[in-house]
Amino acid sequence: RIKSGNAMDIRYLADNTEFIPRLAKLLHAEWDFLYPDATIQTRYDRLVSYCNRDRVPLSFVALDDGRLLGTYNIILSDIKKHPELSPWLASVYVVKEYRGRGIGTELVKHAMAQCGRLSIPRLYLWTDKQRDFYGSLGWKPLSHEPYQTIEVDIMYFEG
């Protein structure tokens, strides 16, 4: 549920592929500064490869009456210098006009619930701004280090 009281469904991107072009643009705009060689097409192709239901990588979308509210991915690797850490929660994103309504919290909780379904003992993420947010949901700090052009906290959740 969203704080406004509207119903929200979190569904597989594989069943809602019509959102891939918009998601590619939104995610590229949000994180393109970290990946100067990436393009919207790169992001689009990656999202297509995440259209699974029973294995990593996979992607989910939050919808309300056909409106895209947000998304997240579970992927095999997110920081190349840490191949020993896998899988990762990545690209947790809430569409700007829907922020502040608890959607991000629901997306992360949904991802955490996938750990049991997919037999994932430990899920990782990196964040540059939301350490306290993830900590409040049960994620634990692993390290603080440079990544691309920013400093990030690597965190984990044991499912």
Nearest to 2 by CA among 72, 60, 65: 65
Nearest to 144 by CA among 157, 124, 130, 127: 127
SS3 158: strand
pLDDT tens-digit readout, 92-149: 999 999 999 999 999 999 999 999 999 999 999 999 999 999 999 999 999 999 999 9
pLDDT tens-digit readout, 83-100: 999 999 999 999 999 999
Stated pTM of the model: 0.93
Question: Which residue type is seen at 132?
Answer: D
pLDDT tens-digit readout, 61-80: 999 999 999 999 999 999 99
pLDDT tens-digit readout, 12-43: 999 999 999 999 999 999 998 888 889 999 99
Which helix (H) or strand (E) segment holds residue 157: the answer is strand 150-158
Q: What is the largest CA-CA distance in the chain?
A: 42
